A and B are shown apart, each in its own frame.
Chain A
C-alpha cells in the first residue's frame, strides 16, 4: 500500500523567504508523485508532478520539487514566498497511470501562511 506523510500541518514564512514543504512517501513500485494546491473555497490544482523523468521538477508559480529515491522524499520549494502563496498544499502518490486508473493517495496537507 502506498502512503504519504507531510511533516508539519502548518508552516509560516515571511514574504520573500524560502518556502519548504516536506513530503515523504512509501510505495512498493516506482511512484508517480504530485503536489496539489488548494486555495480557500476552491478545488485542487496541480502544481507539479514527477513521473520518472527528471528528478528536479518545475511547476507553476515558481514552485519546484526534487525526487530523492534514497530518502523517499519529494519536498516542495519556492525561493521567495508571495502573499498569494498562502494556501493548503497536498502531496500525493500513485503507482502510475495504468489501465486501472490513477488513484492518488494524499498526505494530510500543509497549510502555508505568509506573513507580510
Chain B
C-alpha cells in the first residue's frame, strides 16, 4: 500500500460525457502528479501540482483539467470524452523537497476509465 488513494477504481461512461477522478496523496506529501497509461501511448505525464499550484504540464489535452485543493487532494476532470480517452489514470505523490525526498513517486492503484 503506497498510501496514495484514488477513486473510483473503475468508471464506464459514454462519449461526450464528463468525469472527475479523485486522488488523495500520502500524508504530508505536497506534490501530486497525474499520469495516463494507454496501450498505444504508454505512461504519459499529464500535470503536476505542488501545494495547490500548478507546477508542470505535460501532454494534457485542453478538454482535461486538474486542481489541488487546500487539503492537498487533487481532482482530474475529463470532459467531452472520446473513445481514445479510455485508459488507466494514475495519481502519484512525492514529499516536499528536502524532506526525505529521494526522487521517487508513490503511485496509487489507478482509475480505469472506459468510454463507450
Contact = CB atoms under 8 A, between A and B. Distances in A.
Given A43-B2, A44-B90, A102 B103 contact: yes
Contact of B104 (A100, A102, A106, A108): A102
Interface in A66-116: 90, 94, 96-109
B24 interface: no
Instruction: For chain A, give the interface size range.
Output: 20 to 34
Contacts of B2: 43, 45
B109 interface: yes
Contacts of B48: 101, 103
B103 A44 contact: no
Contact of A34 (B4, B55, B104): B104
Contacts, number: 69
Nearest to B6: A43
Interface string B8-46: 000000000000000000000001010100000011010
Interface string B87-116: 000101010010001111111111000000
A98 B99 CA distance: 11
Contact of A43 (B58, B94, B97, B107): B107
B90 A34 contact: no
19 contacts: A43-B90, A43-B109, A46-B106, A49-B103, A49-B104, A97-B101, A97-B102, A99-B97, A100-B50, A101-B48, A101-B55, A101-B97, A102-B101, A102-B105, A103-B56, A104-B33, A105-B45, A108-B42, A109-B43
